[in-house]
Amino acid sequence: MTKRFFGTDGVRGQVGTYPITAEFVLKLGWAAGKVFGNTRASAGRNLILVGKDTRVSGYMFESALQAGIIAAGVDVSLMGPMPTPAVAYLTRTFRAQAGIVISASHNPFHDNGIKFFGGDGFKLPDDVEHRIERFLDEAIITAESVDLGRAHRVTDAAGRYVEFCKGTLPYGFSLAGMKLVVDCAHGATYHVAPDVLRELGASVIELGVQPDGFNINEGCGSTNPELLRQRVIESGADVGIALDGDGDRVIFVDQKGELVDGDELLFIIAKSRQGRGAGCNGVAGTLMSNFGLERAMTELGVPFVRTAVGDRYVIEAMRERRWNLGGENSGHIVCGDLTTTGDGIVAALQVLKAMCDSGADLHDLKDGMHKLPQSLVNVRVAEKIDLQHQSITGAVRDAEQKLAGNGRVLLRPSGTEPIVRVMVEGEDVSLVETLAQDIAEVVEAGAS
């Protein structure tokens, strides 16, 4: 069955445009309450946790969700601004039936979304999303007063998550002597990421830690790292760390100001793990993962598989194979032995540990993987476009012939935005950029 509202990462869109409205989110909260209210609670009453990022619309949607869930007869714990992975972690520790995050991740402030975690801390399977959607077709029936849910605020959520992040490292591990710049994108990590790093002994320079409801991801964070690059170079920091608005993505800047993306970070973590203890039993990437990562895994003797784009598909592949590492080039990195979802802070700590264990700087560590030049062009479309149209398939075929077997072409509609992503990869950077632009122009013409 096709889902009407749930995409690859919950329900997302522009605030005020259906379904990202107060009315819909109220009903979504009630529908979620009906589904999870039928789940047996291990600690008495059924409970749903709700966290959010720093968007101004989060207040409205938090209230709407709260009202809907309570009307369905389920308790609500409100955590305020908290990273997405923190909600996943705290859902497990509170023994809640579900966790909900109000966030549009790396999108601008005028977008928002609702994403869910089950009681196990993993994103919901398709059948549960279908059950929630079926309740959306029913009229809201408020529980009897004696059966209404109750709400309370969790005042120590940030401290709990800070301790969890530190606990993913061995006892006694220290970042003393390291100077780090951390960019929190004016988002949900603004009050936790700097504390984690400082409490581990690092000297921390903060960026993007003054959210005002409107500046989330604006000119900062993992999607806009230029300010971070400048500050790393100016301050002589060892590395820069850029998180996105909800804290499930991370990219780095090395001491020379060069970007280190998710593929390179995966390589660094995998190589570090492969060199000690139980090793690295496999890495799951996506269709967008650079071919250089695949080649590097082969050289390390680490199995590698590609999935559809989206961290939920990466996690599914990891769980099927019982692998502990996977991620996306955008910076979603999942350390399955430590947490259940992409976690920017936890992944950053794994990279910092690899640096400390090896004694090498980040620039040298990333040079162990040779990335093929990759050009990505985003084409905005007004409506769904037929990517099998003759003009588009012809442009792709021509590009593949020019790459002569030394590269690849990928066209992929975004699961969260009205965008078609055109990616070309190959050995010749000039050719790759030209081909990507040529195909993008054909796609744009077909969308107009």
Q: Which residues contact 24 (CB under 8 A, 6 or more apart)?
A: 18
Burial 100-109 (b: 16+ CB within 10 A, else e): bbbbbbbbeb
| Percentage of the chain modeled with pLDDT above 70 | 98
Structure confidence at residue 448 as a pLDDT band (50, 70, 90):
low
pLDDT of 40 reads 61
> Which pTM does this prediction carry?
0.91
Is 323's pLDDT higher than 60?
Answer: yes
Q: For the chain, what is the radius of gyration of the CA atoms?
A: 22
CA 72 to CA 382: how far, in whole Å? 37
CB atoms within 10 A of CB 2: 4
Mean of pLDDT values over 334-352: 98
Mean of pLDDT values over 381-399: 89
CB atoms within 10 A of CB 96: 29
CA 332 to CA 107: how far, in whole Å? 15
Is 399's pLDDT higher than 90?
Answer: yes
CA 340 to CA 352: how far, in whole Å? 20
pLDDT, tens digit, 9 for 90 and up, residues 39-65: 665 556 899 999 999 999 999 999 999
pLDDT of 316 reads 96
pLDDT of 42 reads 52
pLDDT, tens digit, 9 for 90 and up, residues 2-35: 899 998 889 999 999 999 999 999 999 999 999 9
304 bridge partner residues: 283
Is 110's pLDDT higher than 80?
Answer: yes
Residue pair 207/228 in contact by the 8 Å Cβ criterion: yes
CB atoms within 10 A of CB 394: 11
pLDDT, tens digit, 9 for 90 and up, residues 404-430: 888 889 998 876 678 999 999 999 999
Mean of pLDDT values over 188-194: 98
Mean of pLDDT values over 328-349: 97
Bridge-based pairing of strands 374-380 and 419-426 is antiparallel
> How far is the CA of 305 from the CAs of 2, 274, 297, 329, in angstroms?
26, 17, 10, 14
> How far is the CA of 160 from the CAs of 94, 195, 295, 393, in angstroms?
11, 12, 39, 51
115 bridge partner residues: 101
CB pairs under 8 A, 24+ apart, for 216-219? Answer: 216/53, 216/54, 216/55, 216/108, 216/109, 216/185, 216/186, 216/187, 216/245, 217/106, 217/107, 217/108, 217/109, 217/185, 217/186, 217/187, 217/244, 217/245, 218/108, 218/109, 218/186
Q: What is the DSSP string of 362-410?
A: HHHHHTTS-PPPEEEEEEE-SS---TTSHHHHHHHHHHHHHHTTSEEEE
Mean of pLDDT values over 178-207: 98
Sheet with 407-413, side-by-side order of all strands: 374-380, 419-426, 407-413
Is 99's pLDDT higher than 80?
Answer: yes
Percent helix, percent strand, percent coil in the chain, to nearest 5: 40, 20, 40
pLDDT, tens digit, 9 for 90 and up, residues 258-284: 999 999 999 999 999 999 878 999 999
Query: Which of 77, 103, 105, 272 does the annotation list as catalytic?
Result: 105
Based on the number of CB atoms within 10 Å of its own CB, is 315 exposed (0-12), middle (13-18) or buried (19 or more)?
buried
Bridge-based pairing of strands 304-307 and 283-286 is parallel
- Alpha-helical (H) ranges within 38-103 are 58-71, 84-93
Domains and CATH numbers, the chain: 11-158 (3.40.120.10), 178-260 (3.40.120.10), 261-371 (3.40.120.10), 374-447 (3.30.310.50)
pLDDT of 44 reads 64
pLDDT of 219 reads 96
Cis peptide leading into 19, omega within 30 of 0? yes
Is 447's pLDDT higher than 80?
Answer: no
Is 286's pLDDT higher than 60?
Answer: yes
CA 80 to CA 373: how far, in whole Å? 41
Q: Which residues contact 238 (CB under 8 A, 6 or more apart)?
A: 178, 179, 180, 255, 355, 361, 362
* DSSP reduced 3-state for 47: strand
CB atoms within 10 A of CB 18: 10
Whether residue 63 lies in the annotated active site? no
